[in-house]
Structure formats: C-alpha cells, structure tokens
A and B are shown apart, each in its own frame.
Chain A
Amino acid sequence: MQWRDLIERIADLFQAGGEIMIPLLMLSLAIWTLAIVKGIRLMRERRKECSPEQCLRTFKKKSNMCETGLAKWQWDILSRYMAERCEDSELNREILESIRMRQESQTVRYIGTILILAAIAPLLGLLGTVTGMIATFDVISQFGTGNARALASGIAEALLTTQSGLIVAVPGLIMGTILFHRSEKLKSRMKLFCIGLQEQTDDTRSYGE
C-alpha cells in the first residue's frame, strides 16, 4: 500500500512538472546507471589488484586461462604486453605506454559523461522553469491575476522542474567528482604497475640469460 502511495505521489509530481520531467528522469537514470556501474567496477578492480610480481607469477602459471583473481586492467595490460613484447627494452616501454594509455582512457570513460549530464540537468530544470512561467503568463493574459488556481499550475511546473533539475544535478556532480578522483588514483596505480612490470620482465630476462 505504501508503495502504491509513493508511486502515485511520484506520478502526481510528474504530471505537475510537465514535459521537461521526462528528459530529466532519463538524465537522472543515465547518471545513476553510469555512476553505479562505474563505481562497482572500480571497487571490484581495487579489491582484486595485486603486485606486478604476483601478477607475473599467476600469468605464467595459467597463461591461457581466463583472468582469475586479477583485476581486469592488470590482466589486459599483462596479456597484451606479453603478446607484443620484443627484445628492445626501449620499445617495450613504448608498447607498455600505449597499452597503459588505452587502459587509462577506459578508466575515465563515462566519468566525463556523468559530469556533463549533471551539468545539463540544471539547464533542463531552468528550461522547465521558463516553460512554466510562459504558461503562467498565458494564463494571466487570459484570466488576469484573479484566477490563482489557474496560475498555480504554471508556477508548480516552473518550481518542480527547477527542483528536480537540482536534485538530479547535485548527486550527479558529487558522484562524478568522487569517481574522477578514484580513476585518477587508479591511473597512478597503473603507472606504478607498468613500471614494476617492466622492471620485472627485464629482470627475469636478464636472469634468464
């Protein structure tokens, strides 16, 4: 019963807010989906990360098995690097660099989108406000200021959309910033990992020879 009440209230709000509420809802859904997916991925990867040494060891043991126990980015870097590696250590560094760049671009993926969407939400809210005010003034030009009931619907639209725009934007901005910091940290860990990896591989080779 309570759920139904809640849904009814939300539906009422939507009706009062007018057409702008639909893009706002979509925007909000997009922001939350992206943020949750991204956040879960970052958290999970963080837990699975291990040192380059360990990684190499696991890789050598089960090189043709699927990634087990390793973070996805570590596995990606490792497998590609192992496949493309050559004798020249300078070139190896270049290769590692380019692999890292690709992984990094994947880390920050969607975060920019979240931030942009969060920035757009208040603009949409403002658009709704203006639409609502236009409706209000239409009513004024027709009935004068006497008919408060007719005025109220336009004003409700104006205020509700602004409110919703801000409600969508603020958590989106906060989440976006948090995720951005997380990904920055992940980037620096990637850099460290790559340096360690190269040291390790160079070392093993020199030991091997």
Chain B
Amino acid sequence: MKYLTLTILVLLLFSVGAQAQEWSQTRQAVNTVASAAKYNAAKTQALIANEQKELGVEKATLKKAISLKQQQFATFKKHYNLLLKQEKTLNEELAAQAQELKTIDGTIRTSAKQAREYFHESLTTPEYPERTMVLSEMLQSKNFPGLEGIQKLLTLYMEEMTSSGKVIHRTGSFIGTDGTNKTGELVRIGTFTAAYRLDEGTLGFLRPTSKGNKLAAVKGEPGWSLSTTMNDFFEGKGKNFPVDISNGAALARLAQNQKSLLEWLNAGGLLVWPIILVGVLAIILCVERFYTLCKIRSNSDRNMEKIIKMVSQGKWKQCRDFCSTQSRFPTCRIIAHTLKYVGNTREIIENAFQEGLLKELPLLERFLPTLSVLAAVAPLLGLLGTVTGMINTFQIITLYGTGDPRMMSGGISEALVTTQLGLAVAVPIMILHHILERRVDKIIGDMEEKGTGFAVALMKKGQIKQREEFDAVA
C-alpha cells in the first residue's frame, strides 16, 4: 500500500513538474522526491526488517514451545500406557482372587450343608439345640461365612466328637410312638443308640426326627431278653446295652419284624385268603374227625367184652338192648345188625357182619379224602401265588426297569408269602391226615377182629348152624 501511494505520488509530481516549469526545477524536485522516497523506502525496509526479525524470534520461541509440549505429551502417553497395562494385570489378579473367594465360600457352604444333614441324623443334636441356629445362619446366602464360619463349624464337629464318646443317662422329653410328647429316662450311647424308659416301665429305642432337633420312639417292642438287659442298665445293675451299629437300620428292622399278622397277610396279595380258607376248613374237619375217632376207639374193647359175656350166657334180649343203647358206637351198631341173624348159617352171619361194616366205613372215612385233597391243594395255591407275584414283579420291571429293587419287592413278597403260607398249611394237614388214616385203619382192623370174636362166641354157644343142619330145617 505504501509503495503504491508513493509511486502514485511520484507520478503525480512527475507530471506536474513536466507540465509547469523547467526541467531543473523539475529535476530538483524529482530528486528531492526521489530521495524522500528513497528515505521512506529505507525507513520502510528497516521497519519491515525489524518486523521480520521480531517475527522470526517469535516463531522460534513458539517452535521451541511446541516441541517442548510434544515431548511432554509423549512422556505422558507413555506413562498412560504403562498405567493401562498395570490396570489390566491388576484386574486379572482381582478376578482370580474373586474366583478363589467364591470357591472358598462354596466349600464352606457345602460343608455346612453336609454338617446339617449329619447333625439331623445324629442322636446328640437334641442335646445341643443351638446347633441348628448356627448352621442356618451359616447357610444364609447374604453373608460370607469366612474364617469365623469355619471356626464355628469346627467347634460343632469337635462337640460332636466329644459327645459321641460319651454314654449319657438323663431325663428328657421325646416323641412317643403315638406322636405325643413324653418325658422319661433317656440313655444315649455315643451316636449309636438311644433308648427310653417311661415311668410305667415301657422300653423302647429312639431315633432323631427328620429335622434332628427331637428324638422319636421307634415302633416295635424290644424282645424279652433285650428288655431285661435294658432294664438292668437303666437301674445301674448291668453294664451291657444293646447297640445298633448300623445307624438305625437294625431298629427299623426291629419295627418291621414285628409287623402284624394282618400286614404279613396283606403282603401276600389276594391268594392268601383261599389258602387260609383251605387251612381253616382242614382244621375244622380234623377236629371233627379226631373227636369222633377217639370216642370210637376208647370204647370198643370194653363194650365187646360185655357183649361176648352176654352172648356166652345166652342173654340175647339183654344183648340186643345193650347194643341199641350203645348205638353211638359203630361196633355195637354192627353187632346189633348181626344179632338179627342169629341162628342162621355162618355165611349169612358173616355177610350180615360185612354189610354192617360196609355201612360204617363211609362214616369212619368221611372227610379223609377231602383232607388229603386239601393238603394237596394248599401248596398248589401257594405256587399259584408265587407265579402271580412273579408276573407282577416282571410287569413292574417292564414299566420301571430293574433300577430300584424296592419297586420289585411288592411282587416278590407276594410270591414268597403265598408259598410260605401254602406250605405252612399243607404240612400239618398232611401229618394230621396220616394220623387219622392210621387210626381209621386200626379201627377197621379192630372191628373185623371183633366180628370174628363175635362169630366164635356164637359158635361156642351153638347159635350157628352148619349148612346141612340149616338145609334140613328149611
């Protein structure tokens, strides 16, 4: 701008000079103008140089500042990266530690759960009621059990260990077999067995309830010998006590062994009833037979003596009367029947006697074939029950597989109980039938003998005619 104004000024002066006066004047004026312009130019140049110089200085300082800042930035970045790296490793470390902590927490909780299960099964728990609280507190998921929890758990186990080594005799309450609370003497032997005795003298074993905080009586009476030993122990006389080392299984069996007859029969299924029917029928028949046959046997000898005496004395009327009064006895009935034919030939008398005997036989042998059939039927029914039970078992197997033996036990117990019952019914029937049969055989032999004796007596008395004699009379 400056140069432009200057040039325009110079040109104006130049033209003005040329137009107006003479050349020197003009020349002088131009020279002055030129020198002034030169001076101005120099001044301007100096100014510009000065300004340039200043700018340069300024630029240098700025550059310096920039490089300084850049350097600073680089160091900061380096530091930042370093910190990032550090953060990453620390984070990893933290995660690992959290994992570890979680594992520890889980382990403590699991062992607390195990401890709870163990203490629920333990006989000592009712003596330490605070256990359940401690354990439930530990099992809450909010708080971390930590070292304190481990310490508590350890204390519980230590307590259990010391108390399981003791025999404790105390008075306390428990749940009776009927479900009510009862108070009585209690004895606990380690963690094996607990038993109670009531004031009235009832004895029994105890098991912890499912929550473990109370003792409950086991169903089933201990036998006589067990009771004596237990009573002795309660009174301090004996040092022996029955101990169940199977952790309750033996006691459960004690209860099961004493299941009632009805339960046992129910286990046998439907076929039990026909077998029982067979047994009852057989018992009734046997009783009836024994009663009749015993009566017959005890009297026949004595009666026969009297009859033979009367016959030898020829008292026919009296003999007939005697036989009719004693008509309860088959021998007398046969003799009475034969007496009607006195005076006939021997063949007729013998036939009459045989006839009488044949009439008596069915009475004697009554029910005996039935008994033998019943004895044969009972084991067959048992076998039928076995087969039915096995079919049930196999049906269950096809449905549920063989995984759980308990599922199958229903059918198997049906099979076995019916077999057992069938055999148990059949064996006595067989023995009784044999005895009865022998008795009947004996009675029949006895009767035949009496018959010949009677015939001999008649013969001696001359009441039997020879055939020729008889023919002659006829």
Q: What residues make up the interface of A, taking CB atoms closer than 8 Å to B?
A: 84, 86, 88, 90-91, 94-95, 97-99, 101-102, 105, 109, 112-113, 116, 119-120, 123-124, 126-127, 130-131, 133-134, 137-138, 140-145
Assess whether B423 is interfacial by the CB under 8 Å rule.
Answer: yes
* Interface pick from B207-215, B362-370, B404-412: B404-412
Q: How far is the CA of A116 from the CA of B428 in the complex (A)?
A: 11
Q: How far is the CA of A125 from the CA of B430 in the complex (A)?
A: 15
Residues of A within 8 A of B419 (CB): 126, 130
Assess whether B152 is interfacial by the CB under 8 Å rule.
Answer: no
Query: Which residue in B249, B434, B456 is a CB contact (below 8 Å) of A112?
Result: B434
Is A105's CB under 8 angstroms from B424's CB? no
Assess whether B346 is interfacial by the CB under 8 Å rule.
Answer: yes
Is A144's CB under 8 angstroms from B452's CB? no
- Nearest residue, chain B, Cβ from A129: B419
Rounded to whole Å, the gap between the CB of A2 and the closest CB of chain B is 32
Assess whether B379 is interfacial by the CB under 8 Å rule.
Answer: yes
Assess whether B296 is interfacial by the CB under 8 Å rule.
Answer: no
Query: Which residue in A101, A134, A141 is a CB contact (below 8 Å) of B406?
Result: A141
Rounded to whole Å, the gap between the CB of A53 and the closest CB of chain B is 25
Rounded to whole Å, the gap between the CB of B222 and the closest CB of chain A is 18
Is A119's CB under 8 angstroms from B409's CB? no
- Nearest residue, chain B, Cβ from A131: B420
Is A137's CB under 8 angstroms from B409's CB? yes
Q: How far is the CA of A10 from the CA of B419 in the complex (A)?
A: 28
Write out, one digit per residue, whether chain B residues 432-443 have a CB within 8 A of any chain A CB (1) or not (0). 001000100110
Residues of B within 8 A of A95 (CB): 452, 456
Rounded to whole Å, the gap between the CB of B445 and the closest CB of chain A is 5
Is B445's CB under 8 angstroms from A91's CB? no
Rounded to whole Å, the gap between the CB of A138 and the closest CB of chain B is 7
Residues of A within 8 A of B445 (CB): 101-102, 105
Is A141's CB under 8 angstroms from B409's CB? yes
Residues of B within 8 A of A109 (CB): 438
A-B contacts, 25 of them at CB < 8 A, read A86-B456, A88-B346, A90-B346, A91-B459, A95-B452, A97-B452, A98-B453, A112-B438, A113-B438, A116-B431, A120-B430, A123-B423, A124-B423, A130-B419, A131-B420, A134-B417, A137-B409, A137-B412, A137-B413, A138-B253, A138-B256, A140-B406, A141-B406, A142-B252, A144-B406
Is A127's CB under 8 angstroms from B449's CB? no
Rounded to whole Å, the gap between the CB of A21 and the closest CB of chain B is 15
Is B449's CB under 8 angstroms from A142's CB? no
Rounded to whole Å, the gap between the CB of A109 and the closest CB of chain B is 8
B window 413-472: CB within 8 A of A:
413, 416-417, 419-420, 423-424, 426-427, 430-431, 434, 438, 441-442, 445, 448-449, 451-453, 455-456, 459-460
- Nearest residue, chain B, Cβ from A110: B438
Is A124's CB under 8 angstroms from B253's CB? no
Q: How far is the CA of A126 from the CA of B423 in the complex (A)?
A: 8
